Amino acid sequence: MVTRQKAREAVRIGGKEIGRVLITGASAGIGAELAREFARHGHRLTLVARRREALAALAAELEREHQVDVQVIAQDLAKPGGPAAAVKAAQAGGEEIGILVNNAGVIDVGRFADAQPEKLIGLVDLNVRTMTEMTSRLLPGMVARGVGRVLNVSSLSAFQPVPMMAAYAASKAYVLSLTEALSEELRGTGVKVTALCPGFTETPMISEIQAGSAAVRGLPKQFLSDPSDVAAQGYRALMSGQTVVVPGLPNQLTAAWAQVTPRWVTRYNAGVATRRTV
């Protein structure tokens, strides 16, 4: 763990100091862009991921460009005790975590029957268990203080079953459902929970998806979202208290279509599209 000195005045919500922002999976992709977005707005950051070197490089960039205090915690959240260790390290200095960003996640592309059980269980562990535990450990303190924010990075796939990404889509549906339920539980507490549901985004993860899906490989570049745009929209939605945000008009139309179409139709169409490109 590396802690650096505070360089800017604390961010407040409704007159109350919000505390630090803890971002999981912050070393690359949307997580790194979210770190940059929060830094631009003057938040003090705690960045959590497995790769210490990548985190340290990002921390140095943010401190240099935005004069914010950045704490780095190298921790594998998928391991037993990982989330508890990360929270303990983040709180070691006595400062409260006022914003939690659950971004850490992995994907598996291909037929469910062909996947290694260990890989699927690892996906569920990180995408579901870790975000649930991180939220459970930090949410009570936010409620007690009467101020806080939780941003859960879900996916456009949360709105429908996705053959060839079955476990991933199911895990993101859990993230979306939990977020929506908590947003109602927490009404009136001063704590807001937001689900960020991006579509295909130009991050390292997209390469893995394209390798396993001919349909995604054939997508025109204009259908891929820019991660900095996704992060900016996620930040605005979180700070304004919006419950669900889907960046990009094509993705918004897809999500709306999935919600008004009978599930059997959505399922059938997804299956047809997948079988034609496998």
For the chain, list residues with pLDDT below 50.
1-7, 217
pLDDT recorded at residue 211: 54
Phi and psi (nearest 5°) for 62? -70, -40
Classify 24 in phi/psi space as left (phi over 0), alpha (psi -120 to 50) or beta: beta
98 Cβ partners below 8 Å, 6+ apart? 13, 17, 18, 19, 20, 21, 142, 145, 147, 148, 149
Q: Cα separations (Å) of 31 from 190, 228, 263?
A: 25, 10, 31
Percent of the chain with pLDDT over 90: 69
The per-residue b/e assignment along 1-20, b for 16 or more CB within 10 angstroms, e otherwise, is eebbeeeeebbebeeeebbb
Q: Model pTM?
A: 0.89
Residue 213: predicted pLDDT: 53
Contact partners, residue 54, CB within 8 Å, separation at least 6: 27, 28
Sequence length of the chain is 278
Q: What does the pLDDT look like over 99-128, one tens digit per residue?
A: 999 999 999 888 999 999 999 999 999 999
* Residues classed as catalytic: 168
